[in-house]
Amino acid sequence: MSVVAADQGGPTFFFTSQLCSWKPDEKVGVIGRTLDFDYPPNADVVRIDYTITFDPDHDRATGTETLTSFPLQKNPLDGGGTLLGTFTFTGELVKP
């Protein structure tokens, strides 16, 4: 799973693209988890947990992303962290 945010890399926010993995859920969607590394001055790691549901034609998606922040010395896959927020999103398949 690869995610790119419009405001990554500066000038206001200095974080990387998010890379990690996903798997099908028990319904008609997927769950995913990505890691995002933030460069100084903040220098932390953010775990982003996704739930994504597809419409029957698989050309639209809706979901949530939950952001949790961790100090660089902590394991972002081991629970804990500081909840930064949960946000909703929608997407549409772009056909060539």
Q: Average pLDDT of 18-27?
A: 84
When pLDDT is cut at 50, 70 and 90, the band that residue 70 belongs to is very high
Amino acid at 87: F
Token digits of residue 23: 């798997």
Higher pLDDT, 28 or 56: 56
Q: How much is the pTM?
A: 0.81
What is the percentage of the chain residues whose pLDDT exceeds 90?
A: 42
Token digits of residue 33: 């988890």
Token digits of residue 16: 């990387």
